[in-house]
Amino acid sequence: MMKRSKLAKETGTNSPILSRNLALFLLAGSLLSACGGSRGTPVVEPLAPGAPDLGTASSTPGIEYHPSKIIGINPMIPMRADGANTDASLRPTLDAFGLVAMGNSGSCSGTHLGNGYVLSAGHCFLDGADSNTIVNQTCPTVKVYWGYRGSPSTGSPKPVVTMTSQCTQLIHAQLDMDLDFAIFKVDQAPKASVGIALESARTPAKTKITIFGYPMGRPLEWSQYCAVNKSSVVGRPFNSAARVAYQCDTQPGNSGSSVIAFNTAGVPKVVAVHDAAAPDPIQYNIGTYMYDIRQTLKKRGVDLDKLTAPAGTTGAN
């Protein structure tokens, strides 16, 4: 199992809140599983009892920056089980978002990009590791709970989970001042996915974006919309053109949440992965561009565009 260190930015969601929320959900006698898309009321069936051991240690602070920020008034919306309280164009994606349980090390968020490949944050896997990059490693302690959403407080009688997957291979994880991302493979994947943006340049400033994730291990929450504030991040500790800044709210546990924009056809696409926040008093959350992730993997001979492309196509755009 991966060790923890002072670089534990947002994997520090191994808190009593996370353990209580997810354990109560998974062990509650009538566990539910929804299949297929998110439109309408999910069709549910019982799941076998059981909960991951997410630990109860307090979170470890990051270095020189806060792990995540609520900027102004928190507009994050807990998702109903049927997804009715988000935009219709986004409902089909809800089962593509998973709570990534990192064994005893807390949890992150992840997104199914297609064909069983999942995007998350590099520090979820690399905190405490001896290297800033890991490739082609097994990941038996990592599980993903897809589409975990709904609670009495949101008008849903019971939360649902659409599928549980096991991480089988960590394709690439990287954590440095330029890049913080992970791509891993799961044994079974949800039908829903969010394709990656295949632009030949980084997403420009003022682009409308949105984020879904699992803050503090709670069921799925939606940031609503914000915009790309800076097309590159200049200043400590990042100073990197591969980083994107925005003011969508996040909390610990959102590490690995995909940053989503709409292409010219109005289809949601992943343009970045959320992984950090700027140091105070700078009011930005920060992610790593999908453009730079794709380029980094291509240098290794890994073509993420082809790996995640729908059958019969050459890319996910």
Lowest mean pLDDT among 27-36, 47-56, 239-248: 27-36
- Tell me how many degrees the CA angle 136-140-142 measures, rounded to the nearest 5: 95
pLDDT at 126 over 80: yes
Quote the pTM value. 0.80
Burial class (CB in 10 A: 0-12, 13-18, 19+), 263: middle
Both tokens of 142, joined, read 């990592």
Q: Determine the pLDDT at residue 1.
A: 37
Q: Determine the pLDDT at residue 311.
A: 78
- Write the CB contacts of 150 (distance below 8 Å, at least 6 apart in sequence): 79, 80, 81, 82, 156, 158, 159, 160, 219
Taking alpha carbons only, the member of 138, 37, 139, 151 closest to residue 93 is 37
Lowest mean pLDDT among 39-53, 170-184, 272-286: 39-53
Share of residues in the chain with pLDDT > 90 (%)? 53
Q: Determine the pLDDT at residue 58.
A: 26
User: Residue ranges per domain, the chain?
Assistant: 16-64+84-186, 208-308
Of 25 and 264, more confident: 264
Share of residues in the chain with pLDDT > 70 (%)? 70
Of 307 and 11, more confident: 307
- Tell me how many degrees the CA angle 187-189-195 measures, rounded to the nearest 5: 130
Q: Determine the pLDDT at residue 298.
A: 97
Does this chain's domain 16-64+84-186 share its CATH topology with 208-308? yes
Homologous superfamily of domain range 16-64+84-186: Trypsin-like serine proteases (2.40.10.10)
Just give the CATH number of 208-308.
2.40.10.10
236 to 63, 250, 259, 275: CA distances (angstroms): 11, 20, 22, 15
